[in-house]
Amino acid sequence: MSQGENGTVREETGAVDTLEPQLTAADRCDSCGAQAYIRVVVKSGELLFCAHHGKKYQEKLSAIAHSWHDESARLLEDQRA
Ligand SMILES: [Zn+2]
């Protein structure tokens, strides 16, 4: 049996994809209550928007947004089916 010293290769035990949380059907637009596809992190917290309101507020919010997570492309894919 070989003993791994430094180069022990682990299976994927740790989750890596925590940087960009996936939005789910439980996430709702702060403006209209529709399913949220856009998540904006600002100084005071985070905001959720549907594709429509995300676009609407993007111009204003992009100036203060720390991060802009946009899954609205997924919406378009859904509609194509
Ligand atoms: Zn909305």
Measured in angstroms, how far is the CA atom of residue 21 from the centroid of ligand 1? 19
- Using CB atoms within 10 Å of the CB of residue 58, give its burial: 0 to 12 exposed, 13 to 18 middle, 19+ buried: middle
Measured in angstroms, how far is the CA atom of residue 34 from the centroid of ligand 1? 5
pTM above 0.85, yes or no: no
More confident of the two residues 12 and 35? 35
Of 22-26, 28-32, 38-42, 77-81, the one with minimum mean pLDDT is 77-81
pLDDT band at 78 (very low <50, low <70, confident <90, very high): low
CB atoms within 10 A of CB 22: 10
Three-state secondary structure call for residue 70:
strand
- Ion ligand 1: residues, CB < 5 A: 29, 31-32, 34, 50, 53
Measured in angstroms, how far is the CA atom of residue 39 from the centroid of ligand 1? 12
Q: 9 is written with which tokens? A: 């290769």
Q: 35 is written with which tokens? A: 């399913």
Measured in angstroms, how far is the CA atom of residue 19 from the centroid of ligand 1? 24
Average of per-residue pLDDT values in the chain: 81
Spell out where the chain has E strands: 38-42, 45-49, 67-70
More confident of the two residues 16 and 77? 77
